[in-house]
């Protein structure tokens, strides 16, 4: 793109209506997968294949914006594993919600509305969670992203161990229910899956990618059940390949891109916290033919490449 200052700060509308330029590919909506633009670093392909063959989760550690969560999109597209299921972790995330959700209050309300003799079908008030959906019986493995697992409380990694080892879990509300078979909706869709006697047992262990920003340590029992990979420090060559994949070869060959990449790597080497998508933002704005003057250009660089650990 070429630099275009749409906003002038005068508060006066222009004579002609201003048309904004097209957004960068990673900010188009509805969001689309960027798996074709992802450039796996050295060693990641081997780690993915090890996780696939051994049916183990892949724990990918690295700084924000290093492409950790894009790995699974590329694998799912290449191996036809379907839509990626996503479980974004917060400090309040618990294992049960990832397995299934039960709307007990909604069921009680429906029973009161229908009165005596009304339907007592529990199915409409249950929905599988992202992990529960990934463990449903299927012909092919499902792909599950467990994003930022280091944000969880201390017990969650240990709570996951039994489910990931056995590949099954129980829904107590269905185990106590009067019918043996209940149809339950999957996560992120309306497809129904039959659950028998309250137990879900996978037939193909899902391909699971867990991401971590490296902000905490995990129990040894959890780590030994994972294939672990740490995203390496990017080099100018790898970053220019990323720029080319997202913005085209011409942008990657531009003088502005080379300067930005060189300064970016220097700052990373010095220990600053920066994300690759910050670099892409800067190249997208400043590698065009109508770049701003030097003073304004530096202001844009300072704005877009601010160190992440600072306010």
Q: Structural domain tally of the chain?
A: 2
Q: Do 209 and 71 touch, CB atoms closer than 8 A?
A: yes
Last residue of a domain, one of 230, 246, 269: 230
Q: Range of 250's domain? A: 234-304
Q: pLDDT value at position 289?
A: 65
In terms of domains, do 96 and 110 share one?
A: yes
Q: Could you read off the pLDDT tens digit of each residue along the chain, which spans 311 residues? A: 567 778 888 888 888 888 888 888 888 888 877 788 888 999 999 999 999 999 999 999 998 778 898 999 999 999 999 999 999 999 999 999 999 999 999 998 888 887 776 677 899 999 999 999 999 999 999 999 999 999 999 999 999 999 999 999 999 999 999 899 999 999 999 999 999 999 999 999 999 999 999 888 999 999 999 999 999 999 999 999 989 988 889 999 999 999 999 999 999 999 898 999 999 999 998 887 666 777 888 998 999 999 987 65
In terms of domains, do 141 and 257 share one?
A: no
Q: Residue 28: inside a domain, yes or no? A: no
Stated pTM of the model: 0.88
Q: pLDDT value at position 295?
A: 80
Q: pLDDT value at position 114?
A: 77
Q: Residue 219: inside a domain, yes or no? A: yes
Q: Do 251 and 287 touch, CB atoms closer than 8 A?
A: yes
Q: pLDDT value at position 1?
A: 54
In terms of domains, do 68 and 174 share one?
A: yes
> Strands (DSSP E) along 50-112, which ranges?
58-61, 85-88, 100-102
CA distance 76 to 82: 6
Q: What's 104's domain CATH number? A: 3.40.50.300
Q: pLDDT value at position 97?
A: 94
Max CA-CA distance within the chain? 77
Q: pLDDT value at position 301?
A: 92
- The DSSP call for residue 204 is S
In terms of domains, do 155 and 216 share one?
A: yes
In terms of domains, do 140 and 261 share one?
A: no
Q: pLDDT value at position 2?
A: 60
In terms of domains, do 160 and 293 share one?
A: no
Nearest CA-CA partner of 62 in 231, 206, 308, 293 = 231
Q: pLDDT value at position 199?
A: 97
Q: Is 73 helix (H, G, I), strand (E, B) or coil?
A: helix
Q: pLDDT value at position 310?
A: 67
CA distance 193 to 215: 37
């Amino acid at each position: 793109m070429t630099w275009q200052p749409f906003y002038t700060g005068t508060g006066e509308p222009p004579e002609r209506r201003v048309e904004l330029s097209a957004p960068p590919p990673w900010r188009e909506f509805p969001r689309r997968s960027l798996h074709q633009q992802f450039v796996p670093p050295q060693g990641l392909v081997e780690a993915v294949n090890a996780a696939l063959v051994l049916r183990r989760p892949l724990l990918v550690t690295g700084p924000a914006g290093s492409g950790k969560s894009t790995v699974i999109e590329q694998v799912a597209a290449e191996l036809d594993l379907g839509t990626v299921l996503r479980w974004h972790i917060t400090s309040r995330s618990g294992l049960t919600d990832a397995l299934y959700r039960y709307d007990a209050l909604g069921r009680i309300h429906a029973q009161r509305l229908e009165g005596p003799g009304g339907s007592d079908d529990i199915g409409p008030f249950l929905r599988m969670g992202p992990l529960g959906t990934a463990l449903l019986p299927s012909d092919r493995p499902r792909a599950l992203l467990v994003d930022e697992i280091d944000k969880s409380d201390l017990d969650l990694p240990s709570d996951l161990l039994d489910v990931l080892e056995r590949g099954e879990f129980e829904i107590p509300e269905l185990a106590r229910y009067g019918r043996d078979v209940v149809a339950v909706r999957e996560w992120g869709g309306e497809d129904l899956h039959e659950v028998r006697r309250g137990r879900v047992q996978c037939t193909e262990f899902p391909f699971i990618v867990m991401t971590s920003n490296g902000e905490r340590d995990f129990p040894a029992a959890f780590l030994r059940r994972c294939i672990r990979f740490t995203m390496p420090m990017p080099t100018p060559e790898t970053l220019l390949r990323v720029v080319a994949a997202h913005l085209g070869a011409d942008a990657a060959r531009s003088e502005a891109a080379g300067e930005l990449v060189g300064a970016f790597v220097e700052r990373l080497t010095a220990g600053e916290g920066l994300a690759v998508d910050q670099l892409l933002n800067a190249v997208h704005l400043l590698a065009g033919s109508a770049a701003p003057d030097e003073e304004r250009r530096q202001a844009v660089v300072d704005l877009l490449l601010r160190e992440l650990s600072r306010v």
